[in-house]
Chain A
Amino acid sequence: MTQSVVVQVGQCGNQVGCRFWDLALREHAHVNKKGVYDEALSSFFRNVDLRNDGGSCGVGGKIENLKARAVLVDMEEGVVNEILQGPLREVFDSTQFLTDVSGSGNNWAVGHMTYGSAYREQIVDKLRKTAEHCDCLQCFFLIHSMGGGTGSGLGTRVLSMLEEEFPEVCRIVTSIYPSAEDDVITSPYNSILAMKELTEHADCVLPIENQALVHIVNKIKHMSHCGKPGSVIKTDTTVMSGQGGLSRAEKPFDTMNNIVANLLLNITSSARFEGSLNMDLNEIAMNLVPFPRMHYLVPSLTPLYTLADVSVPPRRLDQMFSDAFSKDHQLIRADPKHSLYLACALMVRGNVQVSDLRRNIER
């Protein structure tokens, strides 16, 4: 089973990353009832025996203590400290953090040039150590925002470092793009400068827009409030809230970050769990990137809320397929139906048969 490493840069990156680890732990807890450290877990976590001073255990043993394969970078201490004090502190090691005090001041140049050169060796060192703990490293996930200073500046610098040090490992970048009403004034500059780096160095990019996420969250709240008779909507789904997970208090961006975390989990699920038609991560990059510079993929997620009844009748399933193509479910505000689709991939998770898939593809 191949492993992936998650690199979180900047405030936004770290907050999304935090939700991601929370959801990943919950998903695995749901699937893995026996507490055995199996192959699926090893793709994101390492099993560490604390008594052995950090030596890692092999696959098949009991779960001792899970450590996430992640590197967290931020030039301000606030967010990282919050993670360290929260319930996820067990999952991270002190060697995985890199922080500074003053921050980048929403300036791409400060993040990219100043901090990039100052912390270069440390970052490379941490990345290399994390990579060495993996048997077979398949891909790096980079989570960052495009509007700020650290996320976009230092994040893109880290991306080019990854390309230098690990050229054969795939780099999948999840970038949060600023929306029209953004609170950072210099965000257009930061985004443009970062985008040039992304086009050069990333293997594929999943752009996500805050505005689209707000829209989706509002739609879910609307659905749960208007309460159609005969359909009960679970407001407690993993998409919406972290209730039942490790964190209790809800922070403002949490629901939106949950959606992004879900997206990442679903993309990697085929690589981690077995199924009848598996799609590995490098297959995603292979199939959806026809030309080297055109690697921006529009992600879209269905369903966004679950109804109380579990067995989904075929009509509902067909509705899900149509929804996947509708622009309301996309995580970025764009309208592909009126433009041209270059390539398109449907990843289905759960109790769906080949015949359902074919019927819908033919539609």
Chain B
Amino acid sequence: MEPKVINQTICRSAKSGRWRYGETSHFSQKQGCGNNWAHGFCVHGPRHRDVVEELVRREVERCDRLAGLMAMMSVAGGTGSGVGAYITRYLRDVYPKSFILNHLTWPYGTGEVIVQNYNSVLTLAHLYHHSDAILVHENDTVHRICSQLLNIKHISFTDVNRVIAHQLGSILQPALTTDSNGIYSRNPLGELVGSLACHPEYKLLSVSTIPQMPSSSIAYSTFSWPGLLKHLRQMLISNSKMEECIDWQVQLPSASERTRTLLGSSFNTSLANLLILRGKDVYSAETGSFEDPALYSSWLSPEEAFNVWKSPVIFNKYEKSATLVSNSKALLRPLDNMLGKAWNMFASRAYIHQYVKFGISEEDFLDSFTFLEQVISSYNQL
């Protein structure tokens, strides 16, 4: 809702000379939402709904075959979260048959905005009803990747955004899926959503990519598929997002002693996994280790829970790269923390008057809280 960032983005893309945004494909207003979810959802959303719908319709009409819509936003602010949630709900009504994937940026745990917890709770609760899958990137994690893996001394938001873009690109670039019969899949969003978000209670997806290293060291490193896949699998199990700091102690319990109480907090059960391999000799990669039934929950068999996409084209200068998109308990802890903090603030009714001013009542807050508690408990039972 503020013009500064949009102007900056359009200028920057035009300057690169290789691609740019269309002249009319942006929309901004003069005054922002003031980090207020209620302001975005109740005031700005309805007011500008028609204009935004017109813009989206024009783009959709230009497509031969619409695979889906992807919305990218942050959860801490006012516009991204409030207006984003409103637009997602509206687009779901207008395009009921398309897939909608929301990409969310989770704020730093130490806080960028004081009311970020409220905004996140309200956004997630509303998005869960209308979107097909929610892909989350946490600022904390990406920041750590930048500092430890990529060795960047002064990390700016451009670096953080570049890492996120790399991870998104490695998912969405064309690939050969099991259904596409030898040609590139024409429906990446649909297949992603179909293979991962199979149950309406479980929609939170997280991404890990391997390898991540500064571009100066790529020339000196060699990769092998078994090595990469072993690391990736351990990253999945121990719920870490980087190659360093993997906890190799965490092992899968053997099938016989698999009881609920024994599962330590560090073991990460997945509902479904999608592995995307890009690079040389992709067909020789052995992915059998990911089909271990102990990795998954008991009510979904590994054959259905695990999918592989492959592409022989190398991506972003890495000779071999693997990406894992998983629907697992990985996001449980940040979500829990955030919910706890939001609840503490709500208990003393802090800042509520700012939201009530625009039409969100305390019942809406309570509804969102209970809904998210339910999501957390479903994930806990995986």
Let me know if A286 and B2 touch, CB within 8 A: no
User: Do A283 and B3 form a contact, CB below 8 Å, given A277-B112, A358-B108, A362-B110?
Assistant: no
- A343 and B114 form a contact (CB under 8 A): yes
State whether the Cβ of B4 lies closer than 8 Å to any Cβ in chain A: yes
Q: Pick from A138, A274, A289, A355: contact of B155, CB below 8 A.
A: A355
Interface residues as binary, B149-162 with A (CB distance below 8 Å gives 1, 0 otherwise): 00011111110100
Total CB contacts across the A-B interface at under 8 A: 80
Q: Does A226 count as interface, using CB distance less than 8 angstroms?
A: no
Inter-chain contact B34/A274, CB cutoff 8 Å:
no
Interface membership of A328, Cβ < 8 A:
no
Digitize B127-157: 1 where CB-to-A-CB distance is under 8 Å, 0 elsewhere: 0000000000000000100010000111111
The answer on a CB contact under 8 Å between B154 and A283 is no
B31 touches A2 (CB 8 A): yes
Q: Given contacts A286-B36, A343-B114, are A2 and B30 in contact (CB under 8 A)? A: yes
Instruction: Give the distance in Å from the alpha carbon of A278 to the alpha carbon of B35 in the complex.
Output: 11
- A290: Cβ under 8 A from any B Cβ: yes
Nearest chain-B residue to A170 (Cβ)?
Answer: B34
CB contact between A291 and one of B35, B108, B353 (< 8 Å): that residue: B353
Q: Do the beta carbons of B34 and A136 come within 8 Å of each other? A: no
Does B5 belong to the interface (CB within 8 Å)? yes
A277-B112, A280-B2 in contact; A292/B154 too (CB < 8 A)? no
Q: Are A290 and B350 in contact (CB under 8 A)?
A: yes
- Asked if B115 lies at the interface with its beta carbon under 8 angstroms from chain A, I say yes
A-contact 0/1 string along B2-14, CB 8 Å cutoff: 1111011000000
Q: A286-B34, A287-B115, A291-B353 are in contact. Are A1 and B3 (CB under 8 A)?
A: yes
Pick from A274, A280, A361: contact of B32, CB under 8 Å? A280
B285 within 8 A of partner (CB): no
Determine chain B's interface SS by DSSP, over half rule: loop
| B354 interfacial by beta-carbon distance below 8 Å | yes
CA A276 to CA B74, docked complex, whole Å: 14
- The size of the chain B interface, using a CB distance under 8 A, is 35
For B27, list chain A residues within 8 Å (CB): none
A138 near B31: Cβ-Cβ < 8 Å: yes
Q: Which residues of A contact B21 (CB under 8 A)?
A: none
Mask: chain B, 32-56; 1 = CB below 8 Å from A; 0 = not: 1011100000000000000000000
Whether B113 contacts A287 by the Cβ 8 Å rule is: yes
CB pair A353–B115 under 8 Å, yes or no, is no
B361 to chain A, nearest CB (A): 16
Would you give the shortest CB distance from B113 to chain A, in whole angstroms?
Answer: 6
Kindly provide the distance from the CB of B201 to the nearest chain A CB, expressed in whole angstroms. 33
Interface size class of A (residues with CB under 8 A): 20 to 34
Asked if residues A353 and B154 are in contact (CB atoms below 8 Å), the reply is yes
Query: Is the beta-carbon distance between A285 and B34 smaller than 8 angstroms?
Result: yes
Measured CA separation A212–B31 after assembly (Å): 35
Separation in Å of the B141 CB from the closest CB of chain A?
13
> CB-CB < 8 A to B32: which residues of A?
280, 282-283
Closest-CB distance, B41 to chain A (whole angstroms): 14
Task: Tell me the minimal C-beta distance from A201 to chain B in angstroms.
Answer: 15
Q: Is B95 an interface residue (CB 8 A)?
A: no
Contact present for A280 and B34 (CB under 8 Å): yes
Residues on A with C-beta less than 8 A from B110 are 358, 361-362
Known: A274-B8, A287-B115, A354-B156. A292 touches B353 (CB 8 A): yes
B36:A354 contact, CB within 8 angstroms: no
Asked if B283 is at the interface of the complex by the 8 Å CB criterion, the answer is no
Q: Do B4 and A274 have beta carbons less than 8 Å apart?
A: yes
B105 to chain A, nearest CB (A): 12
Not counting A286-B115, A355-B153, A358-B110, a sample of 12 additional A-B residue pairs whose C-beta atoms are within 8 angstroms of each other reads: A39-B3, A278-B5, A283-B34, A285-B34, A286-B34, A286-B35, A286-B351, A289-B354, A290-B351, A353-B154, A354-B160, A355-B154
Identify 9 residue pairs between A and B in the complex whose beta-carbon atoms are under 8 Å apart, listed by A's number.
A39-B3, A274-B7, A276-B156, A282-B31, A286-B35, A286-B78, A291-B353, A355-B153, A355-B154
Query: What 5 A-B pairs are tightest by C-beta distance, nearest first?
Result: A282-B34, A290-B350, A355-B155, A136-B30, A287-B114
Interface residues of A (CB under 8 A from B): 1-2, 39, 135-136, 138, 274, 276-278, 280, 282-283, 285-292, 343, 345, 353-356, 358, 361-362
